[in-house]
Amino acid sequence: METNEKRFEGVVLNGFLMLFVNLVLTLAFPAMFFYGIVLIDSQWGSPAPYMVMGVLGIILTIILWCGFMMLEPNEARVITWFGKYSGTFAKAGYYWINPFYGSKKLSLRARNLDAEPIKVNDKVGNPVMIGLVLVWKLKDTYKALFEVDTQTMATTAQGQVGTDVKSIMNALEKFVRVQSDAALRQVAGQYAYDDEDGGAGELTLRSGSEEINQLLEQKLDDRLALAGIEVVEARINYLAYAPEIAAVMLRRQQASAIITAREKIVEGAVSMVKMALDKLAKEDVVELDDDKRAAMVSNLLVVLCGDDSAQPVVNTGTLNN
């Protein structure tokens, strides 16, 4: 996306050098002013030039003291010249610039947002609770300050417009939180909660975690690009049915699990009965007519598929009785 951010090309001097110069000037100009006072009652010269230069020099040093700035790694200052954007300076260190430049500090470090779960209706209308964790950082300082009304959003409780780095970054975090909420609702509304609600082979919130996270990250990128924010990572970290339907859905899941388990049990029982009959016939252990085979199959299926342990009955007669 197109950006108007540019590097600050104005005069930037070493802060320690200017600190030494300012200290010298801070001592020299007051001394010149007091020297002029001493000359008032003397015949050595006019005191006016010394006093005027001393006063002007003191004013100059006060102005020069306002030009110092310090930046830590992954911090930046947006420089303006009487309201006009002049560039962004992001080199760590101690520097001095023209005091008449305006500057606002911004943090370029990664930030973490753990959004509280929100209630959303999925594709089929079921209310679900869904939350996300987001890692983001500021990429474009021009957009962060001039494309979004960051300073108004950073207004303090006393009605003062926030201009410090903490207020501005908190305002950007509010923007991220609102847009994250909107993106999460948009993505969650496109998919069913699980396979039972969606169609066969259809992507769902539970089964398609990687695909859903990628789509969520893309939606967040699109929304947050307006404020010059880059999404490092976005993931759904909480997913559950809403409390009002959670109990019903739990019973449905339990019933589905019981049915699946029964299908496996019956499938295994039929396989074991077939194996038993084949082995009896192959090894000529006993000859069974159709009625006896049916009775044996019935008994074996009851034993293998029943929930309770089988109670053995000893037949002391013959198979023909």
The length of the chain, given as a count of residues = 321
Coil, strand or helix at 210: helix
pLDDT in tens, 150-170: 877 766 555 555 667 888 888
Cα-trace Rg, the chain = 40
With a CB cutoff of 8 Å and minimum separation 6, the contacts of 229 are 136, 137, 138, 139, 140, 144, 172, 175, 176
Give the model's pLDDT for residue 76: 94
CATH homologous superfamily for the domain 111-241 = Band 7 domain (3.30.479.30)
- Could you tell me the residue ranges of all domains in the chain? 12-107, 111-241, 247-305
| Token duo for residue 52 | 């005027």
Look at the pTM and tell me if it is higher than 0.75: no
> Is the pLDDT higher at 30 or at 265?
30
Angle at the Cα of 245 (from 203 to 119), degrees rounded to 5? 65
Q: Answer yes or no: is pLDDT of 77 > 80.
A: yes
pLDDT in tens, 92-104: 999 999 999 999 9
Give the model's pLDDT for residue 321: 45
DSSP classification of residue 49:
H
CB 133 within 8 A of CB 120: no
Identify the residue whose tokens are 């021009």.
142
Rounded to a whole number of angstroms, the distance between the first and last alpha carbons of the chain is: 90
Query: If we measure between CA atoms, which residue out of 124, 128, 119 comes closest to residue 241?
Result: 128
Q: Answer yes or no: is pLDDT of 188 > 60.
A: yes
Mean pLDDT over residues 159-186, rounded?
84
Give the model's pLDDT for residue 231: 94
Mean pLDDT over residues 298-315, rounded?
64
Query: If we measure between CA atoms, which residue out of 218, 212, 253 comes closest to residue 236?
Result: 212
% the chain with pLDDT above 70: 77
